[in-house]
A and B are shown apart, each in its own frame.
Chain A
């Protein structure tokens, strides 16, 4: 299955109601969409369900679609919506799970991380360790390039809160990497 058919061709086929186009779009964008939902929900099964829902909704709404941006950008936005909807609906569960993880994560951090050895892993763990709201704000800014205003509107919080949460995220990330002193020494010296 080819995954690099240009978007305009895909959209033409979509408008022509070509049923095979869905598979082509799915193969081209599923991985990206799945990674987006995973970042937000941090759970394989949930991320998969959400990613699949994105494509299901996309297909069901194909006739009303009015895509002005890139197809990838459009799907990505749907994925963020889907993930935020899920987080909102499952607020309690999420809070509890992530809080637990935060506690476990910091308690045993140092040595554990060193064994894992990879910067990537440290960064992921650091992001995972953020409190739920803080993490969501950070992801929306860093990975979805939403402005503070957009984030505040999407999450129904004040811009001031967005600012504070962003600062908090950056502080926590700095702390994680600073704890990881050998790594950080290496990093500053190397980059």
Chain B
């Protein structure tokens, strides 16, 4: 075994082009000595080559968004005072003023440790909030977020939908919604808990999350890992676990939709949520499958593409969209 370890070090050196000519030659010889040697080398090389093509794309990059953010930072830096015109006296005054505010501000934050902080969004708005512990929350539209300024323990109240990227610390991070309690250590996840909607949903992008019912007497919860979600059925008050399409869970944030052999039923659910509309597919097309990607596409473009690929008809009412068609024979293309 130890020998094998040495050989792998050797192979890694060859593959990464760090070996000398002598080492290269020695290895070539070693490879011919036993079929196992050659196997070890060949399989290592395959992995080495494959890794190059592993596209490690965490999220799709939105250049316009990234640039907008960057431009803001850039402007912040550019408005820093040049400082040559101000006389020494004015400078002192400025310093004094800043100090006063500083001291006052310090006193104020100290004395108001449990000052409630609240953020809310209107229709069509999203808001990024940085919490005192460095965690990031992106609040979707018509949502509310509240916490104590002191933020110990790390507890937050949410109505509506938000994406959380939680900074890791020894202390748990808890999100209370009307009906659920979500506890994490450090991770990113999406919670959807609008009061006017039937089901609450928690989807996990990275890390591990525990979800419990808000008023549970005994532990009723489920533990989720990346790629899973918990759905609370409002009628039965039961939490159930399911596989989550993490791409589309945060589509409200990324503006991207991604379907891979997805049933029309699921496609419709995603679109309804993404565009905040009502879509009614006829029963016979629910089992059809659709594959496709959309980047910042509008509703019409998406509907047209789906309708075209599955030969569906789209009828738009004032506030409902009807989808109908012949249905699909062999529904899955896998």
Contact = CB atoms under 8 A, between A and B. Distances in A.
In the complex, which range does the number of interface residues on chain B fall in?
35 or more
Nearest to B10: A167
A97 B186 contact: yes
A148 B66 contact: no
A55 B70 contact: yes
A178 to B, nearest CB: 8
Contacts of B208: 104
B18 A148 contact: yes
Contact of B58 (A26, A38, A97, A166): A38
Contacts of A48: 66, 69
B16 A166 contact: yes
A83 to B, nearest CB: 13
Given A30-B67, A148-B16, A170 B48 contact: yes
Nearest to A174: B47
A183 to B, nearest CB: 11
A170 B44 CA distance: 7
A169 interface: yes
Contact of B225 (A34, A104, A177, A188): A104
A120 B18 CA distance: 26
B63 to A, nearest CB: 6
B73 A56 contact: yes
Q: Which A-B residue pairs are the 6 nearest by beta carbons?
A: A167-B9, A123-B54, A166-B12, A167-B8, A148-B18, A31-B61
11 contacts: A30-B66, A34-B66, A42-B58, A44-B59, A45-B136, A52-B73, A120-B53, A120-B55, A123-B50, A127-B54, A174-B44
Interface of A: 1, 3, 22-23, 26-27, 30-31, 34-35, 38-39, 42-45, 47-48, 51-52, 55-56, 59-60, 93, 96-97, 104, 108, 112, 115-116, 119-120, 123-124, 127, 141-143, 147-148, 163-164, 166-167, 169-171, 173-174, 177, 187-188, 191
